[in-house]
Structure 1
Amino acid sequence: MSLNLLKKSDYPIIGYDVFKEKRSIFKVNGGISPDHADEIYQTCDIIFLCLPSNDLVKSSIHEVIEKGKKGTIIVDLSSTSPTLIREMYEKARQAGISLLDSPVSGGEPGAIAGTLVMMCGGDKGVFDEVNPLLHYMGSSVTYMGTSGCGSVAKLANNMIAGCYLGAMSEGLAFAVKAGLDPEKLFYAIKDGYAGSPIFEVKTPKIISRNFEASARIAVHQKDLKNAIKLAEELDIEIPMSKMVLDYMNEMEDLGMVNEDQCAIVKIYEKNMGVEIKRQEFKVLNTQDKIEI
């Protein structure tokens, strides 16, 4: 996202990451990267945050409030609790600072291509001011309403995505248990009603046993926890999302929470006694090979 801002905007962009190698990449591409985020808090007019936890978002917004200038705009691109965002929106407003919640969807491919879907909440005038910058990172940018509405939209997005991942994993494990080749099944159904961008991206990762994270279970788990908390505040039940969260919690217990979100399939595999993988060649003799 930061590289797309660098390439497409005319603004000087200052970026900070806790990992030095990320800062080096940013610098090589023409960005300015200090050794501490304070320089960003103190000098930038618009500050984008993209952080993995509610606590980090809260502490970073507090830092901007304490060290930043009046009139600064904070845009939180993280998947943050709507309750927390609304709390911090009010604290920022009292300090003369604006806060937008603008979580994103589209994963690593969308971030690289600049085709993210962005859902925004906060003051409409502030949204209009930063909208052109958001379009450098996303192909779809929608104003959802007042503070927290973008975060609620993101929770709904990830509830649907999480339940889809669960249903996809269950269907694949079921098919393999019944004797089907998962790769043939993938090609057979990917263009039907069961197909989706998630199916097209994640199923090949599962079949090739590649669980390197482009979107970690830990982050999706956090979003579903936020959804459960908001559901409790609304006095409603979201049983499908709760079941998927239970499986993600089980992945945490197994030490796999930093794998890709599609690794949740391992719980379904364990429960059904199967492994969804590309089928190998079996050598019958030196001249003959067949697929099994």
Structure 2
Amino acid sequence: MALNLLKKSDYPIMGYDVFNEKRSIFIGNGGKSPDNIEEIYENSDIIFLCLPSNNLVKKSIEDIINNGKKGTIIVDLSSTAPTVIREMYDKTKQVGISLLDSPVSGGEPGAIAGTLVLMCGGDKETFDEASPLLHYMGTSVSYMGKSGCGSIAKLANNMIAGCYLGAMSEGLAFAVKAGLDPETLFYAIKDGYAGSPIFEVKAPKIMSRNFEASARIAVHQKDLMNAVKLAEEMNVEIPMSKMVLDYMNEMEDLGKVSEDHCAIVQIYENNMGVVVKKQEVNV
């Protein structure tokens, strides 16, 4: 996302990451990466955040409040809990700083290609000001409503995606248990109602046993935890999402939370005593 901003916009852009190799890539593409992150907070008009936890987002926004300048726009691209976003929205508003919650969907391939889906919450005038930059990162940029609405849209997105991953995993494991070749099944049904972009990308990963993460279980797990918490606050049930979250929690217990989220198929495989993989061809 940072590289797309760097390559497509005419603005001078600074970037920071805790991993030096990421900063080196950014610098190698013409960006500036100061050693002190406060330099970014003090000198930037728009600050994009993309962080893995609610606490890190909250801490970073608090640091911007303390070190940033009045009129700064913060765009949180993370999947942050709506309650945290709304709390920080109120705090930034008090000091003349604007906050947009603008989580993304599309995974690593979408981030690289600049084809992400962005769902935005906050003040409409702030969204309108930041929108041109958001379009450098995504092909779909939607204003969802007041603060927190972007985060809620992302929760709904990942509830649907998580339940789909669960249904796909269950169906593939079931088919293998019943004696079908999963690759043959994949090509038979991928263009029907069971097909989707998730099926197109994740089923081949499963069958090749490639669980290197383009979307980590840990991140999806966090979103489902946030969804469960919000559902409890609203006094509603989300049983399918809870079931998928339980399986992700099992993957954490197995030490596999850094694998791709499609790796939850391993829970279904263990329960059915099968492995969903391509059949070996004997020559």
TM-score tier by shorter-chain length is over 0.9
Per-residue CA deviation, residues 241-276 of structure 1 (Å, 9 max, x unaligned), is 000000000000000000000000000000000000
Percent of paired sites with the same residue: 81
After superposition, where does 1:64-213 map in structure 2 within 5 Å? 64-213=64-213
Matched letter for residue 40 of structure 1 = I
Give me the whole-angstrom Cα distance separating, in 2, the residues matched to 1:225 and 1:86: 18
CA distance in 2, matches of 1:114, 1:252: 30
Question: Which has the larger Rg?
Answer: 1
Shift of 1:37: 1.6
Q: d(CA) in 1 for partners of 2:60 and 2:204?
A: 37
Q: Which residue of 1 aligns with 2:217?
A: 217
Whichever residue aligns with residue 253 of structure 2, its letter is D
Query: Does the residue aligned with 1:117 lie in a helix, a strand or coil?
Result: strand
**Displacement of 1:131:** 0.3
SS in 1 for 2:278: coil
**Equivalents in 1 of 2:34, 2:179: separation in Å?**
56
Matched, 1:25 2:25: yes
Task: Tell me how far apart the structure 2 counterparts of residues 107 and 74 of structure 1 sit (CA, whole Å).
Answer: 22
How far 1:35 moved relative to its partner? 1.7
Report the counterpart of residue 14 of structure 1 in structure 2.
14
Per the normalisation by structure 2, the TM-score is: 0.99
Q: What are the Cα deviations for residues 85-141 of structure 1, in whole angstroms up to 9, with x where unaligned?
A: 000000010011100000000111110110100000000000000000000000000
CA RMSD of aligned residues (A): 0.5
Q: Distance in 1 between matches of 2:259 and 2:274?
A: 19
Letter in 1 for 2:172: L
Helix, strand or coil for the counterpart of 2:135? helix
Q: Does 1:55 align with 2:65?
A: no
For 1:6-50, what per-residue CA distance to the aligned partner results, in whole angstroms no more than 9, with x for missing partners? 111000010001110000000010100112321111110100000
- 5+ residue gaps in structure 1? 283-288
Aligned equivalent of 1:286? none
Cα deviations by residue, 1:157-190 (Å, 9 ceiling, x for unpaired): 0000000000000000000000111111111111
Give the match for residue 285 of structure 1: none
Cα deviation digits, residues 52-95 of structure 1 (max 9, x gap):
11010000000000110011000000000001000000001001
Amino acid at match of 1:44: S
Letter in 1 for 2:12: P
Which residue in the other structure is 1:240 paired with? 240
Matches within 5 A, 1:270-281: 270-281=270-281
Residue correspondences, number = 283
**Matched letter for residue 188 of structure 1:** A
What SS class does the counterpart of residue 117 from structure 2 fall into?
strand
Residues 192-239 of structure 1: CA deviation (Å, up to 9, x unaligned): 100000000000000000000000000000000000000000000000
Letter in 2 for 1:75: V
Q: C-alpha separation between the residues in 1 aligned to 2:37 and 2:17?
A: 8
After TM superposition, what 4+ stretches of structure 1 lie above 2 angstroms from structure 2? none
Equivalent AA in structure 1 for residue 220 of structure 2: H
Amino acid at match of 2:59: S
2-structure distance, mates of 1:63, 1:190: 47
